[in-house]
Every structure is written in C-alpha cells, then in structure tokens.
Amino acid sequence: MADHYEVLGVSRDATPDEIKKAYRRLARELHPDVNPGADASERFKLVTHAYDVLSDADQRARYDMGGSDSPFGGGQAGFGGFGDIFETFFGSGGGQRAGRPRSRRERGQDALVRVTLDLKDVVFGVHRDLEVDTAVLCDTCQGSCCQPGTAPVACDICHGSGHVQRTVRSLLGNVVTNQPCNVCQGYGTTIPYPCATCQGQGRVRARRTVSIDIPAGVETGLRLQLPGSGEVGPAGGPNGDLYLEVTVTPHDEFSRDGDDLLATLEVSMPDAILGATTTIESLDGPVDLELRPGVQGGDVLTIKGRGITPLRGSQRGDLRVGVHVVTPTRLDAKERALIEEFAKRTKSPAPRLAEFHQGLFAKLRDRFRNG
C-alpha cells in the first residue's frame, strides 16, 4: 500500500496546513472534471484517502505508529476510541445528519445601521433613504455560484450524499462511521466552473438603498426591525434582517417627557405683572400664548395636542411651557425709583422660606408619571 505522505508529496513531519495545501493542489490537478484520465482518477482517490487519514490527528497518530492506514497499526487487532462509537450513532460533521448533504443556501447575516434624528422627526415621523453596505445577489449567476451555462455536479467520492462511510473495529465489532466528504465539504456536489464575478459565493458586496418610514414616537436606543432587509445569504439564501438603532439629538429649545414636549418661556416682570399675549415658535409652527396678569415663575402653560405622537397610538401629547420670570439686574435711577415706589405701595412682605421646589418641571413630571 502506498505511503500516504508520499502520495501527498509531503514529509512525515509536515504541518496540518502543509498537508491541506498539498491536498488542494493535487485535487485541483487530478479532479475528474479537470483530468478525465483513468490514471488521474485512481490517483485522485489515493490522494483523497491519504488526506482523510493525515488530516485527522488521531488517525494520523495511529498511522504513524503502525505504518499503515489501519487505525490499529500494521493490521493488528485493537480497539477504537469512544469517538468512533459516538460517530457510529451520531455521525460527525457539526450536527449534519448522515445521508443528507449540506445546503449551499444559507440565511444571510443580520445588519445594524445607526440613524440620527432631530426632535422634529420624532414628533411627526420621517422618511429616510439609507445607504447600506451589504451582500447582494450576484447578477451574473443569480445565486447558483456557477458560471452561466454550467451547474454543480455530483461528487464522485461521496456520490452526492455529502458524507463518506468508514468501517472501524471496536469492542462492539465492526462499526460504521459517517464523516463529511472532504472533497465536496459535505455539499454532495462540486462546482467545476465557479462564477468569476462572485468567486462561487452566489453573492457580492455592494451598496444599496433602503427606504424606510420611521414612525413618530421613537426614542434614543430604540431598534426598529426590517425583516428581510439584511444581507443575502450564501448561494442566494434568504436575506437576514436589518435593524435601525435610533439616536435623537438634543434640541436647543424643547425637551421630551414621555409624549409631552417641554419648553421654557422667559417673561419680563412687567408682562408677568400686567399679563400679555405672545407668539412662540413650536415644532408645528407659530402658536399664540396668553399670559394672565400675575403669572408666577414656575407656572406651567399647557398647549393641547402639540406634543409627540406615541409610537403605538394616534393621540398626541401636549406642549407644556414653564414660565421663567426674568428679574432685571441693571436699573437706572428712574427705574429704581419706580420699583421702590411700587414696593411701598404694595407693601410687599419680607423674604421668607416657602415650599421646597426641586426644579421647574418637578411637579409636572410627577403628575405625568403617576397619573
């Protein structure tokens, strides 16, 4: 029987990587699809068998000890390992069932894209066209992995089953193990003429545009799932999913509290005392706001239906405007005299401790969350 190392053309201390490279070089040279001669076919079988033995660490060790490809060395009787017994019942090859070849078509990977939105986009929702770098179906082979006009052919080593059987002696007698075919990698077929565009993968990397309507009410950290919008799988397998992770940039004038929008309105002392009508620019456009005479700092004015549309619902929240009375810091002599006269006339009480306030919207947030 030919020495396996000589068949592959490697030394007895060759590394697994050197053995693999030698096998691939000889397999490309001797494969029946490339070299149809009878002699090449026999050599191809010898090369494949030699690689089967030397690529397995346990079989190679037994071969080196016994000088033949018998797992027990020199044809002497012996016992197989527990791995052989388990392979008898369960086979080997990553959970692949014996007798059923692997499918080249697999589901594509999911993809994650981060999108940044303004607060106005959150209020009304927004349409976006996103450029995504992903895997798409190969236009040349349409996922077949083959050059146009060609097709995969049944592996002549495993005869299309995707696995090979070996008989091993053990305590239980002769048992049969199933292992993935090393020639076709368990697919049951080989591709003699791979597609030149995708290198036999059935897909290529490309940028494509994904159009999406982002609903109102999303918030930072939320992920939206687009089923089937991820990358196409190998050999034209089904697409994975695309996930959009949302980040909302802070707004200079408005903040969010649930489905409500919060804003602060600066009011002069005369307007706070006498009352006034003003117009503010909301995210919906101009809104008229009435300030009653004597409005206090910390009072909250509510504008119904000018907040955020909830993610699951149609009733918009409110716009709540907190009043901040601005006290003048620089007065001329006449202004100071008028204020002093006002203080005398109103007989304002001296400063005193009052109810503690944590912030302008503290009570408002508590009412919203508890209500």
As annotated, the binding site for Zn(2+) includes 138, 141, 155, 158, 181, 184, 195, 198
Angle (nearest 5°) at CA 245 between 121 and 361: 55
Helix or strand holding residue 123 (H, E): helix 119-124
CA distance 247 to 218: 9
3-state secondary structure of 319: strand
Under 8 Å between Cβ of 153 and 192: yes
3-state secondary structure of 99: coil
Under 8 Å between Cβ of 295 and 272: yes
Q: Which residues contact 78 (CB under 8 A, 6 or more apart)?
A: 71, 72, 169
DSSP per position, 79-108: ---HHHHHHHHH-SSTTPPTT-PPPS--PP
Q: Which two tokens stand for residue 184?
A: 């076709």
Q: How many CA atoms lie within 13 A of 153 on its CB side?
A: 14
CA distance 335 to 270: 12
